[in-house]
């Protein structure tokens, strides 16, 4: 088969969508399929296919669309929020660019977000099946970020519509967690029978090999290492983390916390860390290529998210055999068994996070037991073969024969 993996987001980037797309590409190719990727370039000024170098300057399509869409809104819907106009222009531009790259040559299109799903569903051939994987809920993330102020606003109704059409503009839609499935069904009226839960998987041996590579970071020998790999954005809950760490420092000072990742809140978090007297205990590492090695040396993994789906960072920490402290946001509780493979606390409750940190730092034996249990769970649950078997079973519902090495397209029979 010839398969297109498409996303509106830029690739590669630090985050779960990027990891998922490149893992899926590698595994599909290992099974004999041909795979292209269509995405934004990291500079967000081009659309491109990173696997073959084809690209299109974004301005060539967006400039014309911007003029047409903005003219329509100014004449017909002047009351509409500029944020909505911008999102429409972005989707129409992505949609138009996809046709330039050619969609008719693919036997299957697999989109990775609500924007690319809706866009490609509108312009692809009716004969080409489309499977979507939705990796999170943008509408509720907009509430956390402040882009959408309330559920009584026009931007919320627009965002809610995006969720509905993004999840239903497909032959079938995959979601990684029961939490996201229930949210889409109950909050956005997506039919339950259109959604299939397929948790992520990872190339565990490859990750373990990367753990053995040296890191440039100089780990202090007399300090416990707390690792927090997460983008510095509101939804990841770093403000609560800093409150918990400030409380922890009053009890003990034998630790450092590594913030691994970057984002819009960095300056604000750095200033707050200074005010809380955490400058000697908190290290902002930015984006890193040596996360597996950093996790190897960590004592405790923390993820204080206010909303999340099925974060790869938790999977990686479990593969590394680390005790994890996570919030109960989104699908995270589906990944951790409280008191057995880690500790779960109520999201947005810094006091509970502090108490869990204090507990694990004070008990080396318990901390090691949680880490050992995590590692065993990860080996069973996060196998990439398990993910591929489940994913191909969904593909099979729209492309019979894909999992057996041959496919039926109309009256034609193809071999890989």
CB proximity list for 33: less than 8 A, separation 6 or greater: 1, 2, 3, 416
Measured distance CA(55)–CA(38) in Å, rounded: 9
The 10 Å Cβ neighbour count of residue 244 is: 24
Q: Which of 328, 110, 173 is nearest to 181 (CA)?
A: 173
Measured distance CA(357)–CA(365) in Å, rounded: 14
> Going from the N-terminus, what domains does the chain have, and what CATH number goes with each?
2-201+383-415 (3.40.50.2000), 204-381 (3.40.50.2000)
Length, in residues, of the chain: 416
Q: Which of 237, 230, 8, 44 is nearest to 141 (CA)?
A: 237
Burial of 165 (0-12, 13-18, 19+ CB in 10 A): middle
Assign residue 82 a region (left: φ > 0; alpha: ψ between -120 and 50; beta: otherwise).
alpha
Measured distance CA(91)–CA(266) in Å, rounded: 29
Whether residue 95 contacts residue 119, with contact meaning beta carbons closer than 8 Å, is answered with: yes
Whether residue 130 contacts residue 395, with contact meaning beta carbons closer than 8 Å, is answered with: no
- H-type helices in 77-213, by residue range? 82-101, 114-123, 138-145, 154-168, 178-188, 204-211
Whether residue 290 contacts residue 258, with contact meaning beta carbons closer than 8 Å, is answered with: no
Whether residue 38 contacts residue 53, with contact meaning beta carbons closer than 8 Å, is answered with: no
Q: What is the DSSP string of 326-352?
A: EE--TTGGGT--BTTTEEEE-TT-HHH
Structure tokens at 281: 């205990």
Would you write out the chain's pLDDT as a tens digit for each of its 416 residues? 999 999 999 999 877 899 999 999 999 999 999 999 999 999 999 999 999 999 999 999 999 999 999 999 999 999 999 999 999 999 999 999 999 999 999 999 999 999 999 999 999 999 999 999 999 999 999 998 899 999 999 999 999 999 999 999 999 999 999 999 999 999 999 999 999 999 999 999 999 999 999 988 999 989 999 999 999 999 999 999 999 999 999 999 999 999 999 999 999 999 999 999 999 999 999 999 899 999 999 999 999 999 999 999 999 999 999 999 999 999 999 999 999 999 999 998 999 999 999 999 999 999 999 999 999 999 989 999 999 999 999 999 999 877 665 544 443 333 33
Measured distance CA(358)–CA(351) in Å, rounded: 11
Write out the E strands in 194-235: 195-197, 224-229
pTM of the model: 0.88
Radius of gyration of the chain (CA): 22
Residue-level pLDDT at 409: 44
Residue-level pLDDT at 408: 45
Measured distance CA(307)–CA(310) in Å, rounded: 10
């Amino acid at each position: 088969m010839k398969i297109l993996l498409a996303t509106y987001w830029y690739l590669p980037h630090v985050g779960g969508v990027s990891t998922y797309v490149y893992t899926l590409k590698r595994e599909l190719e290992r099974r004999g399929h041909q795979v292209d990727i269509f995405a934004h370039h990291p500079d967000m000024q081009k659309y491109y296919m990173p696997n073959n170098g084809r690209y299109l300057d974004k301005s060539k399509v967006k400039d014309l669309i911007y003029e047409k869409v903005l003219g329509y809104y100014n004449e017909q819907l002047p009351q509409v929020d500029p944020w909505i106009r911008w999102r429409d222009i972005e989707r129409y531009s992505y949609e138009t660019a996809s046709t330039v790259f050619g969609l008719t040559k693919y036997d299957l299109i697999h989109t990775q977000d609500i924007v690319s799903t809706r866009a490609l569903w509108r312009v692809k051939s009716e004969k080409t099946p489309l499977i979507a994987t939705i990796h999170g809920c943008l509408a509720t993330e907009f509430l956390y970020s402040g882009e959408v102020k309330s559920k009584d606003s026009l931007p919320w109704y627009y965002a809610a519509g995006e969720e509905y059409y993004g999840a239903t503009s497909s032959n079938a839609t995959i979601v990684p967690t029961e939490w996201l499935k229930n949210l889409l069904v109950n909050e956005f009226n997506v039919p339950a029978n259109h959604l299939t839960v397929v948790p992520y998987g990872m190339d565990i041996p490859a990750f373990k090999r990367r753990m053995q590579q040296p890191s440039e970071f100089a780990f202090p020998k007399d300090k416990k290492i707390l690792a927090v790999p997460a983008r510095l954005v509101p939804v990841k809950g770093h403000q609560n983390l800093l409150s918990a760490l400030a409380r922890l420092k009053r009890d003990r000072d034998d630790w450092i916390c590594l913030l691994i990742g970057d984002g819009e809140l960095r300056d604000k978090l750095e200033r707050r860390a200074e005010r809380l007297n955490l400058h000697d205990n908190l290290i902002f590492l930015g984006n890193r290529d040596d996360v597996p090695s950093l996790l190897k040396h960590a004592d405790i993994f923390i993820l204080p998210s206010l909303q999340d789906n099925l974060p790869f960072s938790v999977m990686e920490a479990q593969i590394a055999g680390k005790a994890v402290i996570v919030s109960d946001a989104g699908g995270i509780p589906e990944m951790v068994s409280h008191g057995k493979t880690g500790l779960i606390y109520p999201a947005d409750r810094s006091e509970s996070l502090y108490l869990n940190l204090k507990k694990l730092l004070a008990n080396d034996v318990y901390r090691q037991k949680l880490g050992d249990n995590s590692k065993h769970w990860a080996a069973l649950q996060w196998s990439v073969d398990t993910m591929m078997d489940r994913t191909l079973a969904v593909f099979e519902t729209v492309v019979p024969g894909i999992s057996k090495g041959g496919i039926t397209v109309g009256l034609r029979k193809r071999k890989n």
